[in-house]
Structure 1
Amino acid sequence: MLSTVGFNRLDLFRTERDHEGKRKYLHPKVPPAVLQEVYGAILWSLGLGRLQNPVR
């Protein structure tokens, strides 16, 4: 299922607090190869898989 949201509605992943009591946040990053797979899956789910570059 696809859904669109505004960045202003998203929230960061909270973790523990630091020694001063301030919140700490995770900043996960998706490797480019995995992101390409996600883009390909989205294209296929929309019936546009033929637009995806062939794997070499």
Structure 2
Amino acid sequence: MIGTLEVGAYDGIVPVVAHDTFRAAGPDALRRYGCDGGVFCDLKSVFARDDSYLRL
């Protein structure tokens, strides 16, 4: 587990559990942790279809 997340540091953001914390933050806040060209995949379909590159 990562103790502190770094903004702009990750190639991919993939929330795989629909925690209330993720819902409250929203896709824009979560996407900030990804680097330029990184992907945001909403595997639980928590956010709107247009908010991510991939969803199930």
TM-score, with length taken from structure 2 = 0.23
- Structure exhibiting the larger radius of gyration computed from Cα positions: 1
